[in-house]
Amino acid sequence: MGLYKGDLSFSGDNCGQLSKGDIFSVLQNDRRRHFLEILNANGGSSLRSISEDIAQMESGTTAPASKVRKSIYVSLLQTHLPKMEQMGIVKYDREADRVELMPGADNFSVYLETVEKGNIPWSHYYVGLSIVALFGSLPVFLGFFDWFSSIKWLFFVDMLFLISSVAHFTHMKKIRM
């Protein structure tokens, strides 16, 4: 198993599958989590660029000190990157200084769904939409609204879910770019 102990399997149908323990082990560290968020948003990037972005996040300034940037770069290069490379999450080309996501990174997408302050997760939105559709159906199907038939209501609810799904798809595509 090498330097990292964990239940890793990268062959056959389980290609890139990580155990929950492995996933949480990676995500428990702020730098690794920020590292994956940056790669998830950009698709691929130079290690230097990623370390500068993390330095800005950690320092809270747009121009962190050179010492801070270098410390983060070395930490990523010597500690975090090898661990994530060994787990099949990222691939690092040292000559090009380029980091790319690997199939193992798919394990983290559900945990890295970004929810901006003041917004709700999409899963909560869909639950709320389903509740509105369910309780809105009762008066329609019981005939309280003669002017609004069951067919019209079903079409309306279907359109709500279609529009929501397109908005969700567009939002997720924008995040991954």
Whether the Cβ atoms of residue 122 and residue 69 lie closer than 8 Å to each other: no
Beta bridge partners of 93: 98
Q: Is 177 helix (H, G, I), strand (E, B) or coil?
A: coil
Q: Which residue has the higher pLDDT, 177 or 143?
A: 143
Cβ-contact 96, 51 below 8 angstroms? no
pTM for the structure as a whole: 0.55
Round to whole Å and give the CA distance between 60 and 84: 25
- pLDDT, tens only, 10-61: 333 344 577 778 777 787 788 888 888 888 777 788 888 888 888 888 888 8
The C-alpha torsion from 75 through 76 and 77 to 82, rounded to 10°, is 110
What pLDDT does residue 159 have? 92
Q: Give the pLDDT mean for 62-86.
A: 88
